[in-house]
Amino acid sequence: MLRLARWFWRSWPVLLIIALAIVHVSLVTWLNLHSATTNKLISLVTQIFGGILILYSIDSNIGIIRHQNLFKIFVTYLGEFPLVRKSVVLTTGTADGVAFGMKAKVTVRRNPETIDKKLEYLQEQIDDLKRDLEEKAKELRERLERELAAVRADVSKNRQDLGRIESTIEEVSIGGLKPQIFGVLLMLYGAFSGYVA
């Protein structure tokens, strides 16, 4: 029974229009109110309420997407009126905090005289080159690990952002649908009831 009630309640915009029609007919027939005046009054009230409900739904969708509302958008629009001049303040900044850094490797050449000294000198050069390559490889590995960590963090953040965007799109497309349908039905009912004698 509860499932049946929930199923019916999913179509609440139509159910409320039916209830409104029953109240409308009851006012005219059972309370013997003037039908033309009652019809026009109900027509006016339902059309205004339907329009306000549609505007409210649009406003909530704008709030979800742009984190604004119709009032703020209207105030911003009025503030951008082209005949009102606004003073503009320009500021300049300096790049005092900018620093450049480079690594330089300086080797002093000596001119060994014997073959043993030359071999020893070459071995020192090879050892220096090996140390330099190991340092650069270590720096490169550390930099690569930092970049990978940053990429992983970006991927995780992008997944979270995509999840938020998906839920926002779902909320905008599905969440505000029933109030919009109800607002349109109210406006249609109001337009129709204004012509019923």
Give percent of the chain above pLDDT 70: 76
For the question of whether the overall pTM of this predicted structure is more than 0.85, the answer is no
Look at residue 132 and tell me whether its pLDDT is greater than 80: yes
Residue 41's alpha-carbon distances to 20, 29, 150, 186, in angstroms, are: 13, 16, 64, 13
Angle at 53 between CA 21 and CA 187, to 5 degrees: 45
Angle at 108 between CA 106 and CA 114, to 5 degrees: 150
Mean pLDDT of 179-191: 82
Alpha-carbon span 82 to 92, nearest angstrom: 27
For 176, the 3-state DSSP assignment is: coil
Amino acid at 7: W
Q: Where are the domains of the chain?
A: 10-78+113-193
Give CA torsion, residues 126, 131, 136, 137, to 10 deg: 100
CB-CB contact of 196 with 36 (8 Å): no
Q: Model confidence over 1-39: pLDDT tens digits? A: 788 888 877 888 888 888 888 888 888 888 777 778 888
Alpha-carbon span 112 to 103, nearest angstrom: 28
Q: Model confidence over 50-109: pLDDT tens digits? A: 888 888 877 777 766 666 777 777 778 788 877 766 655 555 554 444 444 445 454 556
pLDDT at 102: 43
pLDDT at 98: 43
